[in-house]
Amino acid sequence: MFEGQPKGLYALALANTGERFGYYTMLAVFALFLRENFGLSAGVAGTIYSSFLMLTYFLPLVGGIMADKLGYGKMVTLGILIMFAGYLLLSLPLGAGTIAWVCIFAALLLVAAGTGFFKGNLQVMVGNLYDAPELQNKRDSAFSLFYMAINIGAMFAPTAAVEMMRYAQEVLGVSKADSYHFAFGVACLSLIVSIAIYYAFRSTFRHAEGGKQTVAAKMDAPVEELTPAETKARMVALCLVFAVVLFFWMSFHQNGLTLTFFADEFTEHQSTGFESMMFDVTNLVLGIVMVYCVFGLFQNKTVQGKLMASLVFVAAGAGLYYKYTVLPESVEVNAPIFQQFNPCFVVALTPVSIALFGWLGRIGKEPSSPRKIALGMLVAACGYLVMMLGSNGLPTPNEQAEAVKAGTAMFVSPNVLITTYLVLTFGELLLSPIGISFVSKVAPPKYKGMMMGGWFVACAIGNQLVMVGGFLWGDLPLLVTWGVFAALCVLSAFFMFAMMKRLEKVA
């Protein structure tokens, strides 16, 4: 899994980990902050939330076009500086008046613009590391590893947000509405770490940054020449993929909206026994370590390596057993904490995914990238089928609010959401890193930045459509809400399979 990868991959992945940690710390509580601080309805909060997500995924198109001319490295650095200014504004407790609104919208615009310069261009640089013929066959696994690193940052983000808010309220005596700003402040620190990593290890990926100096250094290198017809075929194929994945992101990013509302309004707020261990990120990390030790045991070629993997596996297992013996009687379950499960599952399942497709590749059965994306849509639909089953018999959100006041509310086990996030993660691993790899491979050389930006535009449209969930949340039965997302994912998958021959022709 890690063998033969260039050092630049790990440097870029770690820089992205720091940035994503801050982003997801902010995102874990943002929708709840809007409702708590400004008293907004679910629909209005969802509109602001989804509009912000739309901008963060649309602006990489602008950043990509600029980077094709000026260089990817310059845009990445500029992006981090702009994001820092945005998070700094968010961290200021300014109340709920006009000044607060102005600063919130200014901050969101800065964070979105900075992300536009940073995110897509960093991923283009990762793709550029694999332009050499001898590295081409490692591109998909590289993006899976890169995606795993993103989720390492995201995995700790909800815990950081919840703990910072708890510290502000219990130790500093800050009101709940103002405590959110302490969570936003964590993002500022994470960007300092990110930029430090980027420049400390820049020598390992400088050749992938683009710009005039890099172009001059590569003038004698062979460049892939495409006919106008080939360029058109590739652009059309990418646009077809873009048209499909927007419905995945519309559904997937309900994790910060309706799925968080479900966690807040319909899920038990206390957990006991073995289940409660899932809400301590330390236990999740120990479980991930055990997964990697199993792979290390089979992949290590030396006795010493196998012995080390075995010892670490036993130590991690012992740590989990000890944590189980000292479990408190019950553990408080906060709604934002559920967002740790998706990144945790990504990190744990990435080696499984790489090993599975590596084995299928060796026997000539590995699905093409477009086919993996289509399968990912079907799996995502199954995630919302879990929600439909788990929500069967529950009242509408508005009815639940009245039942809470009357003391007759119905709540479900946290396992409903945990299982949903597990299934959605399988779909995500089939679609997101593979889709990014597909774009970096298929995009015409002259338009790499722009086409990677096109991927993010599709994500932007999908994220703008996240707002649909906010407007479904109210008087409609939960089965209808989840059924909408399941149906859209199934229809998108069928469309993808119908276009498969055209897509696989350029893959």
Lowest mean pLDDT among 132-146, 166-180, 263-277, 326-340: 132-146
Domain for residue 59, yes or no? yes
Last residue of a domain, one of 313, 332, 351: 332
Instruction: Looking at the structure, tell me whether residues 121 and 252 fall in a common domain.
Output: yes
Instruction: Looking at the structure, tell me whether residues 261 and 319 fall in a common domain.
Output: no
Instruction: Looking at the structure, tell me whether residues 484 and 498 fall in a common domain.
Output: yes
Instruction: Looking at the structure, tell me whether residues 110 and 170 fall in a common domain.
Output: yes
If you ran DSSP here, which 8-state letter would residue 365 be given?
-
Local structure of 331: helix, strand or coil: strand
Residue 83 or 137, more confident: 83
- Taken as a whole, the chain contains a residue count of 507
Share of the chain above pLDDT 90, in %: 31
Q: Is the pLDDT of residue 196 over 60?
A: yes
The answer to whether 2 and 144 are in contact (CB under 8 A) is no
Share of the chain above pLDDT 70, in %: 96
Q: What is the largest CA-CA distance in the chain?
A: 76
Between CA 299 and CA 54 the distance in angstroms is 41
- Residue 1: per-residue pLDDT: 55
Q: Residue 27: which H helix or E strand, with range?
A: helix 7-38
271 φ, ψ (degrees, to nearest 5): -135, 145
Residue (of 271, 245, 386) closest to 330 by Cα position: 271
Local structure of 271: helix, strand or coil: strand
Q: Is the pLDDT of residue 503 over 80?
A: yes
Give the confidence band of 417 by pLDDT, cuts at 50, 70, 90.
very high
Instruction: Looking at the structure, tell me whether residues 265 and 346 fall in a common domain.
Output: yes
Domain for residue 2, yes or no? no
Q: Is the pLDDT of residue 240 over 80?
A: yes
Helix boundaries (H) for 71-97? 72-90
Instruction: Looking at the structure, tell me whether residues 431 and 319 fall in a common domain.
Output: no
Instruction: Looking at the structure, tell me whether residues 359 and 320 fall in a common domain.
Output: no
Instruction: Looking at the structure, tell me whether residues 134 and 236 fall in a common domain.
Output: yes
Last residue of a domain, one of 289, 308, 332: 332
- Residue 152: per-residue pLDDT: 84
Q: For residue 371, list its beta bridge partners.
A: none
Local structure of 267: helix, strand or coil: strand
Domain for residue 415, yes or no? yes
Give the confidence band of 427 by pLDDT, cuts at 50, 70, 90.
very high
Domain for residue 281, yes or no? yes
Residue 120 or 117, more confident: 117
The answer to whether 177 and 44 are in contact (CB under 8 A) is no
Residue (of 180, 177, 115, 467) closest to 336 by Cα position: 180
Instruction: Looking at the structure, tell me whether residues 191 and 305 fall in a common domain.
Output: no
Between CA 414 and CA 277 the distance in angstroms is 12
What is the end-to-end Cα distance of the chain in Å, rounded? 22
Residue (of 164, 167, 119) closest to 25 by Cα position: 164
Give the confidence band of 211 by pLDDT, cuts at 50, 70, 90.
low
Name residue, tokens 């297992």. 317
Residues 6+ apart with CB under 8 A from 191: 18, 19, 22, 80, 83, 84, 87
Name residue, tokens 């997302």. 485
Residue (of 89, 93, 255) closest to 165 by Cα position: 93
Sequence letter at residue 79: G
Q: Is the pLDDT of residue 317 over 90?
A: yes
Q: Is the pLDDT of residue 134 over 80?
A: no
Torsion over CA of 74, 76, 77 and 79, rounded to 10 degrees? 120
Taking all residues of the chain, what is their mean pLDDT, rounded to a whole number?
86
Domain for residue 221, yes or no? no
Q: For residue 270, list its beta bridge partners.
A: 332
Q: Is the pLDDT of residue 2 over 70?
A: no
Count of the separate structural domains present in the chain = 2
Domain for residue 223, yes or no? no
Residues 6+ apart with CB under 8 A from 28: 157, 158, 161, 162, 183, 256, 336, 339
Give the confidence band of 220 by pLDDT, cuts at 50, 70, 90.
very low
Instruction: Looking at the structure, tell me whether residues 13 and 160 fall in a common domain.
Output: yes
Q: Is the pLDDT of residue 263 over 90?
A: yes
If you ran DSSP here, which 8-state letter would residue 91 be given?
T
Q: Is the pLDDT of residue 116 over 70?
A: yes
Q: Is the pLDDT of residue 395 over 90?
A: yes
Instruction: Looking at the structure, tell me whether residues 357 and 295 fall in a common domain.
Output: no
The answer to whether 112 and 79 are in contact (CB under 8 A) is no
User: Radius of gyration (Cα) for the chain, nearest Å?
Assistant: 23
User: What's the CATH number where 381 sits?
Assistant: 1.20.1250.20
- Residue 334: per-residue pLDDT: 86
Residue 135 or 483, more confident: 483
Domain for residue 121, yes or no? yes
- Residue-wise pLDDT for 334-390, tens only, equals 888 898 898 889 888 888 888 888 888 888 888 888 899 999 999 999 999 999 999
- Residue 3: per-residue pLDDT: 65
Read off the tokens for 70. 């000026």
Instruction: Looking at the structure, tell me whether residues 295 and 239 fall in a common domain.
Output: no
Last residue of a domain, one of 308, 332, 356: 332
Lowest mean pLDDT among 30-39, 320-329, 354-363, 445-454: 445-454
Half-sphere exposure of 99 (CA within 13 A, CB side): 5
Work out whether the CA dihedral 409, 413, 414, 416 comes out positive or negative.
Answer: negative
Average pLDDT for 295-308: 85
Give the confidence band of 314 by pLDDT, cuts at 50, 70, 90.
very high
Residue 284 sits in which domain range? 272-332
Helix boundaries (H) for 129-175? 139-170
Half-sphere exposure of 386 (CA within 13 A, CB side): 20
Domain for residue 222, yes or no? no
- Residue 420: per-residue pLDDT: 95
Between CA 44 and CA 256 the distance in angstroms is 14
- Residue-wise pLDDT for 64-113, tens only, equals 888 877 888 888 889 999 999 999 999 898 888 899 999 999 999 999 99
